[in-house]
């Protein structure tokens, strides 16, 4: 399927300014959740654009640069691990997405959102699971959110090298869980996540 087809079908209905919204960092044990809202101009095609989870790291950086150059508008929302602990991860994800939309230079005609609905945003919305596989705008947002969050975690690696965040990006890999058991949680770990505080390996 052509990933641009869905967005173009909405433009044919008069919804010209489409913002795709996605997040990175909902599942990790450490660091923030980052959301991006991306508005791609009509007619712009970016070779290789697809769901960030299907793109190798070096190619994601390349696509990120193209998206940053060619997008009509980009908004970013970041919620810290402290706020995740205070709010819970679902509310934090929605808040990051809300901030991303509010960070756009102007409200779009419609939002395409991966998996959630933003009731606090007075804009028409479409939400469905795996939207990043169907919508070019959401795929672009998934790349932007993923690259920005990865870079945040790489910077944290310099501050907290014991956890190898440069490799695991805060996700619950076997190595990360082993290091967490040895050193205990650091200031960017999500203390509300059971696997952070029990320090019991699941294998």
| Pair 115, 100: CB distance under 8 Å | no
Domain assignment present for residue 61? The answer is: yes
Domain assignment present for residue 19? The answer is: yes
- How far from 145 is each of 59, 184, 185, CA to CA, in Å? 14, 28, 25
pLDDT score of 203: 42
Give me the domain span that covers residue 40.
Answer: 5-159
Domain assignment present for residue 176? The answer is: no
Q: What percent of the chain has pLDDT over 90?
A: 92
Residues shown for the chain: 203
Task: Give the model confidence (pLDDT) of 150-166 as tens digits.
Answer: 999 999 999 999 999 99
Confidence class of residue 198 from pLDDT cuts 50, 70 and 90?
A: confident
- Sign of the C-alpha dihedral computed for residues 57, 73, 28 and 164 taken in this order: positive
Which of 132, 124, 141 lies closest to 6 in space, CA to CA?
132
d(CA 172, CA 194): 12
Order the strands of the 73-79 sheet from edge to edge: 73-79, 33-39, 18-24, 110-114, 124-128
Domain assignment present for residue 181? The answer is: no
d(CA 3, CA 45): 10
Domain assignment present for residue 172? The answer is: no
Domain assignment present for residue 182? The answer is: no
Two tokens, residue 32:
């923030």
Domain assignment present for residue 145? The answer is: yes
CATH of the domain at 32: 3.30.420.10
Task: Give the model confidence (pLDDT) of 87-141 as tens digits.
Answer: 999 999 999 999 999 999 999 999 999 889 999 899 999 999 999 999 999 999 9
Domain assignment present for residue 177? The answer is: no
Domain count, the chain: 1
Report the half-sphere exposure of 15 (CA within 13 A, side-chain side): 20
Confidence class of residue 199 from pLDDT cuts 50, 70 and 90?
A: low
Task: Please give the model's pTM, rounded to 2 decimal places.
Answer: 0.95
Q: What is the mean pLDDT of the chain?
A: 95
The mean pLDDT of 40-54, rounded to a whole number, is 94
Is residue 172 scored above 90 in pLDDT? yes
| Pair 76, 35: CB distance under 8 Å | yes
Confidence class of residue 197 from pLDDT cuts 50, 70 and 90?
A: confident
């Amino acid at each position: 399927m052509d990933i641009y087809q869905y967005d173009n079908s909405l433009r044919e209905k008069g919804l010209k300014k489409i913002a795709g919204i996605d997040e990175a960092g909902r599942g990790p044990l450490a660091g923030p959740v980052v959301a991006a809202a991306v508005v791609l101009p009509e007619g712009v095609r970016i070779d290789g654009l697809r769901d960030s989870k299907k793109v190798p790291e070096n190619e994601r950086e390349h696509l990120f640069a193209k998206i940053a150059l060619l997008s009509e508008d980009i908004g970013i929302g970041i919620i810290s691990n402290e706020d995740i602990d205070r709010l819970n991860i679902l509310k934090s994800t929605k808040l990051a997405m809300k901030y991303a939309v509010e960070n756009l230079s102007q409200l779009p005609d419609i939002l395409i959102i991966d998996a959630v609905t933003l009731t606090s945003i007075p804009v028409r919305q479409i939400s469905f699971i795996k939207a990043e596989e169907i919508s070019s705008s959401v795929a672009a947002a998934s790349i932007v959110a993923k690259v920005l969050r990865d870079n945040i975690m790489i910077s944290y690696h310099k501050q907290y090298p014991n956890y190898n965040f440069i490799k695991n990006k805060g996700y619950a890999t076997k190595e990360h869980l082993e290091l967490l058991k040895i050193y205990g949680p650091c200031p960017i770990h999500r203390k509300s996540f059971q696997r952070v505080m029990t320090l019991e390996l699941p294998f």
